[in-house]
């Protein structure tokens, strides 16, 4: 079985991230580098992590004019990351530019293009917050609308909350990959996550990848935590 666990390296610097990555290597499928770590450790860290043979999910949620996003995606492809995120509310043209840039840049380098994942509605936003930015009031409807647009633009996957998986699976092509944060094992605190499922529940609902942060990196034994999660998927 392909290992679907992506560990979020939500730590402040390269040395902590590399220590964590070494600890859990072999027990997880990929590492997520987000804004905190990338802003502190930069592309050099991504190259260093990539040299260990790890797969990397660069989660910088690009959202800008199409030309700028296309160039940012080209830079990410130059780092040879395997997945990256863009905001779907940047629009169809922006998403198409991202996809085209990934294919073109990867082709020129003779690499596999990264999986581009669309972010729909941030899970921190509810109906009232959507209304404030003029995007309706129903989170579910807005998620579906943006997901459909991402598919139309040719994106290969979406980031979604665990509780959106089933609803999205009903109308998305089976080839669309779903990457899901908000995983909790039960027993531990949910932290700031409001909508959670266990790893097993999320995979059963139709997720392809699970982004897991605190349940692994904040555990007393991160490698043991990753192993237990993997075991829960195999049983
Ligand atoms: O620690 P935890 O498992 O909650 O970490 C989840 C990771 O997934 C974090 O890096 C967070 O930024 C990311 N994420 C999320 N919810 C989203 C999108 C991304 O929790 N909707």
**Which domains does the chain show, CATH number per domain?**
5-234 (3.20.20.70)
* Spatial contact of 94 and 65, defined as CB atoms under 8 Å apart: yes
Express each pLDDT in 105-155 by its tens digit. Answer: 999 999 999 999 999 999 888 999 999 999 988 999 999 999 999 999 999
- Is the Cβ atom of 122 under 6 angstroms away from ligand 1? yes
- Return the minimum-mean-pLDDT range out of 23-37, 110-124, 184-198: 184-198
- Is the Cβ atom of 159 under 6 angstroms away from ligand 1? yes
Catalytic site residues? 61
**Atom 13 in ligand 1: residue holding the nearest Cα:** 181
Phi-psi region of 88 (alpha: psi -120 to 50; beta: other; left: phi over 0): alpha
- Give the residue, out of 36, 192, 211, with the most ligand 1 atoms within 8 A of its beta carbon, to mutate for a pocket test: 211
Length, in residues, of the chain? 235
Q: How far is the CA of 111 from the centre of ligand 1 (A)?
A: 28
SS3 label, residue 55: coil
Cα gap 158→120, rounded to integer Å: 8
- Is the Cα torsion angle 122, 124, 127, 131 positive or negative in sign? negative
Cα gap 186→6, rounded to integer Å: 18
Question: Average pLDDT in the 15-27 region?
Answer: 96
Q: How far is the CA of 85 from the centre of ligand 1 (A)?
A: 13
* Band (188; pLDDT cuts 50, 70, 90): low
Q: What per-residue confidence (pLDDT) applies to 90?
A: 98
* Spatial contact of 57 and 34, defined as CB atoms under 8 Å apart: no
Instruction: Give the number of the atom of ligand 1 that is nearest the alpha carbon of residue 123.
Output: 21
In degrees, rounded to 5, the angle at the alpha carbon of residue 80 between the alpha carbons of residues 79 and 82 is 125
Q: How far is the CA of 47 from the centre of ligand 1 (A)?
A: 23
Residues with Cβ within 8 Å of residue 26, at least 6 apart in sequence: none
pTM: 0.95
């Amino acid at each position: 079985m392909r290992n679907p666990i992506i560990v979020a390296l939500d730590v402040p610097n390269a040395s902590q991230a590399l220590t964590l990555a070494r600890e859990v290597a072999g027990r997880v499928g990929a590492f997520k580098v987000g804004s905190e770590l990338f802003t502190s450790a930069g592309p050099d860290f991504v190259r260093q992590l990539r040299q260990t043979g790890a797969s990397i999910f660069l989660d910088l949620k690009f959202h800008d004019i199409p030309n700028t996003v296309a160039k940012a995606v080209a830079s990410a492809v130059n780092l040879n990351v395997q997945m990256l995120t863009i905001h779907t509310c940047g629009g169809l043209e922006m998403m198409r530019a991202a996809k085209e840039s990934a294919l073109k840049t990867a082709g020129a380098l003779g690499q596999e293009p990264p999986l581009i994942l669309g972010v729909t509605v941030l899970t921190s936003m509810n109906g009232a917050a959507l209304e404030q930015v003029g995007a309706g009031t129903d989170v579910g409807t807005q998620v579906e609308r943006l997901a459909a647009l991402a598919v139309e633009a040719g994106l290969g996957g979406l980031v979604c909350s665990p509780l959106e998986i089933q609803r999205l699976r009903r109308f998305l092509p089976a080839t669309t990959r779903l990457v899901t944060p908000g995983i909790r094992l039960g027993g531990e605190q949910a932290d700031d996550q409001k909508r959670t499922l266990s790893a097993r529940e999320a995979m059963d609902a139709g997720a392809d990848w699970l982004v897991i942060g605190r349940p692994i990196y904040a555990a007393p034994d991160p490698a043991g935590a990753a192993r237990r999660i993997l075991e829960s998927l195999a049983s």
